[in-house]
Structure 1
Amino acid sequence: MAEEILKARATQKHLRRSPRKVRLVVDSVRGDRVDKALKKLEFTNKGAADEVAKVVKSAAANIRDKFQDARLDNQEIYISEIFVNEGATLKRIQPRAMGRANQIRKRTSHITVVVANNKELVNQ
């Protein structure tokens, strides 16, 4: 193992999108290089693509800032882990007929991205 393992992470919490919808976007970029993932997210026709791209850019900036002497660019950085967890659910009510009420659940997401400089660290 001649090469040093460099890792960094970024998180986005309380994103006002359903985790199920965000996971569709996240699954498409898992294991890719950062430059390829950002290009793919740019042309993805989903609302969550912009938010996922922000977190990937932040993780890439974190690894560059953390290991400045390594001089990494987006072609050398891989997304080793990316996942979406469920955040807090906002509960609202919708009035219905005859004095009843239905509950509306507005779900939130937590996006976590871990990037590394080594292709072997990528979990697919």
Structure 2
Amino acid sequence: MGVRKRNSADLRKAEQKTVAFAKLTNIPTSPRKMRLVADMVRGVEVNRALGILKFSNKEAAARLEKLLRSAIANWEAKNERKADAGELYISTIFVNCAPMLKRLRTAPQGRGYRIRKRANHVTLIVDTIDNKNAKA
């Protein structure tokens, strides 16, 4: 590895140490359904987002709520203090496609219909509101 690549890799690792995030992989829900729920909480303060997810009647909301609680716990562990009300917000949340399971369903006249069982990966990053103002 060259010096330039090593330096950029070290910078990336140093940034990663200050960022509190959580990842959820291979969720057996279609990415489209998960994005509907992710769009509801993008950029929202953490306590408000937990309320939105708790009272949403979508199945994906329960998984995102658990992921958000994990991201908050990661932030508290990195900063060695409790998160105060109104301090944290969801800075980034994105949903990517995971590998798809392809199955065949029997159909009339000797044919087969394809069933695509979709899955997704979710990445959620929380940040303090002070950093949001500093970046803008």
- Residue of structure 1 in register with 2:73 after alignment: 61
- Residue 74 of structure 1 and its aligned partner are, at CA, apart by 4.8
Percent same amino acid at aligned positions? 42
The structure that has the greater radius of gyration is 2
Deviation for aligned residue 1:104: 0.1
- Which contiguous aligned blocks of 4+ residues in structure 1 show a shift greater than 2 angstroms? 70-75, 118-122
| Preserved contact between residue 72 and residue 83 of structure 2 (Cα < 8 Å) | no
- Residues 18 and 61 (structure 1), Cα distance of their counterparts in 2 relative to 1, 3 Å cut: same
The Cα of 1:97 is off from its aligned counterpart by 1.1
Q: TM-score, normalised by structure 2?
A: 0.80
Contact 2:91 2:125 in 1 (8 A): yes
Distance 1:119 1:48 in 2: 30
Aligned-pair RMSD on alpha carbons?
Answer: 1.8
If the length of structure 1 is used for normalisation, what is the TM-score? 0.87
Where does structure 1 lack aligned partners over 5 or more consecutive residues?
1-5
1:80–1:115 CA contact under 8 A, matched in 2: yes
| Residue 47 (structure 1) aligned to one of 46, 55, 59 | 59
Which one has a larger percent helix, Structure 1 or Structure 2? 2
Aligned: 1:22 with 2:24: no
